[in-house]
């Protein structure tokens, strides 16, 4: 499989325990070193419910978001183990208007994962 950023072949060390495992990573080690993830968790109160926001990278690299798709497994496991009653939503880039839209829809408890965010911090 080729890296989604540099288009070089993704090399995985093979040993007896992962010999027949499929290649799932779309990002090579060199690109991950260059563009690492900086995860952050925030909880926002919305109308009678909560919105858990898992931000994968607090730095915006403007790279191809599909390169990081194999990193979503962690968030799926957290969702299924602890927050399976919430609604799972994924955004490549979370904008301010997405939050206000989700607040007004009153869908219930939300579990939102986004690769990047484009939200201005507002002081109170
Ligand atoms: Zn690469």
State the distance from the centre of ligand 1 to the C-alpha of 49, rounded, in angstroms. Answer: 40
Q: What is the DSSP string of 60-90?
A: -----GGGGGGGGHHHHHHHHHH-TTSEEEE
Residue 17 covered by a domain: no
Which domain covers residue 49, as residue numbers?
36-118
67 alpha carbon – ligand 1 mean position (Å): 9
In a domain, 9, yes or no: no
112 in a domain, yes or no? yes
Q: How far is the CA of 33 from the centre of ligand 1 (A)?
A: 9
* CA 62 / ligand 1 centre spacing (Å): 15
In a domain, 21, yes or no: no
Instruction: Measure 107 CA to ligand 1 centroid, in angstroms.
Output: 38
Task: Give residue 72's pLDDT band: very low, low, confident or very high (50, 70, 90).
Answer: very high
- Whether residue 26 lies inside any domain: the answer is no
The confidence score (pLDDT) of residue 27 equals 87
On whether residue 56 sits in a domain, the answer given is yes
Domain count, the chain: 1
**Residue 44 within a domain:** yes
pTM of this structure: 0.81
Using a pLDDT cut of 90, give the percent of the chain over it: 35
Per-residue pLDDT tens for 32-63? 899 898 999 999 888 889 999 999 988 877 77
pLDDT score of 23: 79
């Amino acid at each position: 499989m080729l890296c989604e950023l540099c288009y070089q072949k993704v090399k995985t060390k093979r040993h007896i325990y992962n010999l027949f495992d499929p290649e799932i990573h779309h990002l090579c080690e060199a690109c991950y070193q260059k563009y690492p993830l900086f995860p952050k968790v925030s909880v926002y109160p919305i109308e009678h419910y909560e919105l858990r926001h898992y931000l994968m990278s607090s730095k915006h690299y403007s790279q191809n978001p599909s390169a990081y798709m194999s990193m979503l497994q962690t968030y799926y496991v957290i969702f299924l183990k602890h927050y399976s009653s919430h609604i799972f939503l994924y955004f490549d880039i979370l904008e301010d208007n997405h939050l206000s839209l989700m607040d007004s829809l009153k869908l219930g408890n939300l579990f939102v994962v986004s690769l990047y965010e484009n939200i201005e911090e507002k002081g109170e």
